Amino acid sequence: MYVYRYLKIFQNVDLSSNFYFSYSYDTTLPLQAQMRTNPGPFPPPCRKFIWNDHMLDGFESLVHPKWVLHIVYGFIRQNSILCIHRPLELLFYHRVWRPTE
């Protein structure tokens, strides 16, 4: 069955290092849009960072937004360093633009 095949493929993905998933933080938007204080709906995602955008064409208008998952490829790492004898948390976050035709 296809279910077992896809489950086996998913189990081979290394999620222990530099993997980030969030329902509440839209990784396609810049930090300025994430930290906004005005209420209201969030702006639409930035399409240039969505790698499965071609698969979502037509699908997003048919289903509830909770069923849509945007995949963003990039790098994320958090480090703690000492700066003047105080701990400082650094977050390195890099998104890769998807190739365009």
User: Which class for 76: exposed (0-12), middle (13-18), buried (19 or more C-beta within 10 A)?
Assistant: middle
Contact 33, 43 (CB under 8 A): yes
Cα gap 101→97, rounded to integer Å: 12
pTM: 0.60
Query: Looking up tokens 């955008």, which residue turns up?
Result: 53
CA distances in angstroms from 41 to 14, 32, 38, listed in the order given? 34, 15, 9
Cα gap 28→45, rounded to integer Å: 6
Tens digits of residue pLDDT in 32-86:
777 776 766 767 888 888 888 888 888 888 998 888 888 888 888 888 999 898 9
